[in-house]
């Protein structure tokens, strides 16, 4: 690598919205001088001002792309943090004009993996290197240590490995939360599935909350105590921690707690939807993640749900919940176990999806290493990921997390509680789509014989699709209709 005069920055960053700004400060704070650029120049000035306030960080702002690019030492590395899609192409176009052979562009946004692969090919033709890097952890992670998933040019990764290792979240027993993921769009794909797992996780926690609140009649104070307790054990995680905080926050615009005033209508940016579409394309079952996506779609029908509630109330649908008498402590313990068992299924589905894609694309992704870099910095960080890493260390070819001896034992110990919670929810008229989907996934996967034989018979009956037999090898077709007709005569 060529060295440059000391007044040049080590790296550049374009795109100074919340994530970009925070990542730039993180890089500068770790001792790497950084140049920043944004199309809206006021953002550049604001970032430079904030860098001074945060301790005179070595951050330098530029108003035009040419002087920005020229301020970086060669081979130049520029991270873009702009909105996925057309803005990325626009930014590449603006910057690449001033870049030279061997320079590198990194897209740090949530991009569709095939777009990254298309851009990498186009960049190669210009003699430039390209990386698609998933960054997880929100603004807090970006500022103090995210989990990062770079994929694409390995040569480009070597340019900035020293920076990424310092900037990433640091986990005492397993190191920085970054690794070279693999070729092509693998970094974006892994980040996309990470977000799909996150959808499942959030929905499962919301269902646990619904059962405890609606059936167990727990107050926000009690919920905060319960979640705080859960965060000391096997469920210790970022999402349980922030949920604990949410239950304690009072409404600053009225009485009571803020959580009760938040509209029950979930938004999304699309990565969860992509995950489910990819699962379908690859024929990988991901029911926990898919049901969490459906739950978001249904939550969006707020006006329709309000009307439906009136229809069923006037139609004599009584509130089932009033009849329930529950032992609170027992319910809390059951829900904890059900949440943990359901979560194993969600992660198992995500890992299987990553493996299927890795095989299809020849990426050779290391699942245990992914679990390791998710242990810190990212939204799904959890103590539980250490168990997943160990499962893949024990057996890199593990067919499914469910059959890892440790996880299998934990599921067996928790299945009674899991079933009780799902039954209680169903009998109480509370929907637990992701918990139920996780249980159905487990119950389907653990059975050596399913009702699929009947579906195959039906397919052969109406479409002559043929079937295989359990006792004789080969492919068979039966004239079901004719035989059935004769027997009726």
Q: Which of 38, 65, 67 is nearest to 50 (CA)?
A: 38
> Does residue 34 contact residue 10 with C-beta atoms inside 8 Å?
yes
Q: Which of 265, 260, 261, 267 is nearest to 302 (CA)?
A: 265
Report the largest interatomic distance among the alpha carbons of the chain, rounded to a whole angstrom: 96
**CATH number, domain 451-487:** 1.20.5.320
pLDDT of residue 25: 96
pLDDT of residue 322: 54
* CATH architecture classification, 11-180: 3-Layer(aba) Sandwich (3.40)
pLDDT of residue 315: 66
166 is catalytic: no
Report the run of H or E that residue 131 belongs to, with start and end.
Answer: strand 129-136
Label residue 12 left, alpha or beta by phi (over 0 means left) and psi (-120 to 50 means alpha): beta
pLDDT of residue 418: 98
pLDDT of residue 1: 31
> Does residue 362 contact residue 151 with C-beta atoms inside 8 Å?
no
pLDDT of residue 487: 84
| 202 Cβ contact list (under 8 Å, min separation 6) | 239, 292
pLDDT of residue 264: 95
**CATH number, domain 191-446:** 1.10.1040.10
* 419 CB neighbour count, 10 Å cutoff: 15
| Half-sphere exposure in the Cβ direction for 244 (13 Å, CA) | 15
Tokens for 201? 């996780």
Domain chopping of the chain, boundaries: 11-180, 191-446, 451-487
Give the model confidence (pLDDT) of 166-208 as tens digits. 999 999 888 999 999 999 999 999 999 999 999 999 999 999 9
pLDDT of residue 323: 59
Strand partners, 131: 106, 152
pLDDT of residue 271: 85
| 351 Cβ contact list (under 8 Å, min separation 6) | 367, 370, 371, 388, 401
Q: Among all chains, which residue has been given the structure tokens 């970094």?
A: 187
Q: Please indicate if the annotation marks 26 as binding a ligand.
A: no
Q: What is the CA radius of gyration of the chain?
A: 26
Helices 220-230 and 328-361 meet at what angle, rounded to 10? Answer: 50
Q: Please indicate if the annotation marks 178 as binding a ligand.
A: no
Q: Please indicate if the annotation marks 400 as binding a ligand.
A: no
Low-confidence ranges of the chain (pLDDT < 50): 1-5
72: phi then psi, degrees, rounded to nearest 5: -105, 140
Selecting among 43, 191, 213, 375, the annotated active-site residue is: 191
Q: Which of 172, 237, 179 is nearest to 385 (CA)?
A: 237
pLDDT of residue 439: 98
Q: Please indicate if the annotation marks 15 as binding a ligand.
A: yes
pLDDT of residue 174: 87
Give CA–CA dist 240/229, Å, rounded. Answer: 10
198 is catalytic: yes
Q: Which of 157, 173, 149 is nearest to 77 (CA)?
A: 157
Strand partners, 11: 34
Q: Please indicate if the annotation marks 137 as binding a ligand.
A: yes
The bridge status of strand 34-37 relative to strand 129-136 is: unpaired
Q: Please indicate if the annotation marks 115 as binding a ligand.
A: no
Tokens for 425? 């929810």
110: phi then psi, degrees, rounded to nearest 5: -85, 85
Selecting among 29, 111, 117, 198, the annotated active-site residue is: 198
pLDDT of residue 324: 62
pLDDT of residue 403: 96
pLDDT of residue 319: 60
Q: Please indicate if the annotation marks 52 as binding a ligand.
A: no
């Amino acid at each position: 690598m060529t060295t440059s005069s000391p007044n040049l920055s080590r790296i550049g960053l374009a795109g100074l919205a919340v994530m970009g700004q925070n990542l730039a400060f993180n890089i500068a704070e770790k001792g790497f001088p950084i140049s920043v650029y944004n199309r809206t120049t006021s953002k550049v000035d604001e970032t430079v001002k904030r860098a001074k306030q945060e301790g005179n960080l070595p951050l330098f702002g530029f108003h035009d792309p040419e002087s920005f690019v020229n301020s970086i030492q060669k081979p130049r590395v520029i991270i873009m943090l702009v909105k996925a899609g057309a803005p990325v192409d626009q930014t590449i176009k603006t910057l690449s004009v001033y870049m030279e052979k061997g320079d590198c562009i990194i897209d740090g946004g949530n991009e569709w993996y095939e777009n990254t692969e298309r851009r990498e090919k186009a960049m190669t033709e210009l003699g430039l290197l390209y990386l698609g890097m998933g960054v997880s952890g929100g603004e807090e992670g970006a500022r103090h240590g995210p989990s990062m998933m770079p994929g694409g040019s390995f040569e480009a990764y070597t340019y900035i490995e020293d920076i990424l290792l310092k900037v990433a979240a640091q986990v005492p027993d397993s190191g920085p939360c970054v690794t070279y993921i693999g070729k092509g769009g693998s970094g974006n794909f892994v980040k996309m599935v990470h977000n799909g797992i996150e959808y499942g996780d959030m929905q499962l926690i919301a269902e646990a909350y619904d059962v405890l609140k609606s059936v167990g009649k727990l107050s926000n104070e009690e919920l905060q105590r319960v979640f705080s307790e859960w965060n000391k054990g096997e469920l210790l995680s970022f999402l349980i921690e922030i949920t604990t905080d949410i239950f304690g926050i009072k409404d600053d615009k009225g009485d009571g707690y803020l959580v009760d005033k938040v509209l029950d209508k979930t938004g999304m940016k699309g990565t969860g939807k992509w995950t489910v579409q990819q699962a379908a394309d690859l024929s990988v079952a991901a029911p926990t993640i898919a049901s969490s996506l459906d739950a978001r779609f249904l939550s969006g029908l707020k006006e329709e749900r309000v009307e439906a509630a009136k229809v069923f109330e006037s139609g004599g649908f009584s509130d089932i919940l009033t009849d329930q008498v529950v032992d609170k402590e027992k319910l809390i313990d059951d829900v904890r176990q059900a949440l943990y068992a359901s979560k194993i299924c969600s992660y198992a589905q995500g890992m299987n999806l990553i493996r299927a894609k890795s095989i299809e694309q020849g990426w050779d992704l290391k699942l245990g290493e992914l679990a390791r870099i998710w242990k810190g910095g990212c939204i799904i960080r959890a103590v539980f990921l250490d168990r997943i890493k160990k499962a893949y260390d024990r057996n890199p070819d593990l067919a499914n997390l469910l059959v890892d001896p440790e996880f299998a034992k934990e599921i067996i110990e928790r299945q009674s509680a899991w079933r009780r919670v799902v039954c209680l929810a169903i009998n109480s008229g509370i929907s637990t789509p992701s918990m139920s989907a996780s249980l159905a996934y487990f119950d389907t996967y653990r059975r050596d014989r399913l009702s699929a034989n009947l579906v195959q018979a039906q397919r052969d009956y109406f479409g002559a699709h043929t079937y295989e037999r359990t006792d004789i090898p080969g492919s068979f077709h039966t004239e079901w209709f004719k035989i059935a007709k004769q027997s009726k005569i």
